[in-house]
Structure 1
Amino acid sequence: MLSLLLASFVTFFVAIDPVAMAPMFTTMTAGMTPEWRRTMAWKSIAIATGILLAFAFGGAWLLEQIHVSIDAFRIAGGILLFLIAVDMLFEKRAERREERAEEVAAKQAQHPSHQDDISVFPLAIPLISGPGAIASIMLFFAEHEAIAERGVILAGVGANLALCLIAFLAAGPLSKIMGETVASMLTRIFGILLAALAAQFVVDGIRNVFGIAA
């Protein structure tokens, strides 16, 4: 169970990337009132939680409706997670997220009296519950059907969502304390771990499709 909890936590830590959330939230909410920032923080986490739970418990049904086998999804999901890991290693993902945050901040600056609701887009989707997180929770639930195991997986997801909420609520101080060097280092370390886990998903899918023994 401990290994599953660690695998779940690391995977979603990389997919959601709470480390990068603080500076992005600071940029996107510049000019907003403290009360509105807190509202956006709580609302975005609640929406992202609902999205991930929906795909966790309804993902298998969805795959059945579109006639996609779970092994095909393992291979596709593994490739997707590997591409995300590569982006993290070369910081391409961070650049795209920063650009999106700057666009939101620029729009807010043009209309300082109006406070946009950014909880659904871009916070909940795609920054928190993006393709990587959705694919990860569907893969984990496909691999582990026992109630206890799924509870452990959800604990790993919940821990990362809690970290995101903390990052949002304490965005200013965290951005100053952490700095770009620490954030970059953590991103690369977890990117390597995600690449290895993604490769394992692909290997497992190919083994099952072709009936290859482990």
Structure 2
Amino acid sequence: MSTALFVQTLVTLLVIFDPLAAIPVFLTLTRHEDAAGRRRIARVSVLVAAGIVTVFAILGNRLLDTLGISLQALQVAGGALLALIALDLLKADCARDRAKAESGAVAYVPLGTPLLAGPGAIAATMLYMEKADGVPALLAVGLAMVAALLLTWLTLRFSSLIGRVLKDNGLNLVTRVMGLLAAAMAVQLVAGALQHWVLWGVA
């Protein structure tokens, strides 16, 4: 298994999912639920996100071929989306934090999507599946997806406890650190695509 690809995919997905930044949103949208209700919503929202990213992980490459989109074009698009996410995180003013919902369907929208499985997560999943060459690499990406979703579920599952421990200042600090990582990854994605185009020419 490609350890480097596993770590890269895991960190990227965790930065995009950003479960710690989702804690205030999760607690707000589930404020009328009891502990059992919050656990159920956390489970369903992560399952929804898992379903969405899995579909694009399986069918994404075929979709790229059908539309005639190159891996490098996807890298630039993913980098741009990641850069927007990074700006929101660094400002600690995520668009996701402005999501409003009052119905019992919050596990699907906005938590499952677009809070977790938004355009950034979909683009990143397709990108790493496209980059995976061989069974070990595919296994690394798959396990990273599972690990990222599991950590996201655990964060939401224990969001009340984590929120009390970190408090607002702690959550803001972690959010900004994740934003810095997201910005660096965005630059790396775009730089990789540009390097390929310079060396091999634009197809």
TM above 0.5: yes
Match of 2:75 in 1: 74
Partner of 1:44: 45
CA distance in 2, matches of 1:63, 1:2: 26
Aligned-partner residue type, residue 12 of structure 2: T
* Structure 1 residue matching 2:105: 3-state secondary structure: coil
Residue 111 of structure 1: aligned partner:
none
Alpha-carbon distance between aligned partners in 1 of 2:78 and 2:159, rounded to the nearest angstrom: 31
How far off is 1:212 after superposition? Answer: 4.8
Cα RMSD of the aligned pairs, angstroms, is 1.9
Identity %: 30
- Which residue does 1:112 correspond to in 2? none
Query: 1:30-65: per-residue Cα shift (whole Å, max 9, x none)?
Result: 112333322222111111111111111211111222
Give the distance between the partners of 1:19 and 1:146, measured in 2 at CA. Answer: 33
* Aligned residue number for residue 116 of structure 2: 128
Aligned to 1:92, the other structure's residue is in SS state coil
- Equivalent in the alignment of 2:158: 170
In the alignment, structure 1 segments of 5+ residues that lack a partner are 109-115
SS in structure 2 opposite 1:117?
helix
Task: Measure the CA separation in 2 of the matches of 1:157 and 1:170.
Answer: 20
How many angstroms does 1:14 deviate by?
Answer: 0.8
**How far is 1:137 from its partner?**
0.9
Aligned residue number for residue 194 of structure 2: 206
Question: How many positions carry a matched residue from both structures?
Answer: 200
Q: 2:19, 2:156 within 8 Å by CA — same for their partners in 1?
A: no
- 1:194 is aligned with what amino acid? A
Structure-1 residue corresponding to 2:136? 148
Structure 2 unaligned residues grouped into runs of 5+: none
Residue type at the aligned position of 2:105: D
> Following the alignment from structure 1 to structure 2, what is the Cα–Cα distance between the partners of residues 17 and 71?
25
User: Take 1:117 and 1:89, find their aligned partners in 2: how far apart are those partners?
Assistant: 29
Partner residue, 1:34:
35
2:80/2:186 contact within 8 Å kept: yes
Alpha-carbon distance, 1:151 to partner? 1.7
Q: Is the 8 A contact 1:9 1:160 kept in 2?
A: yes
Deviations 1:153-190 (A, max 9, x none): 22222222112212222221211111122222222222
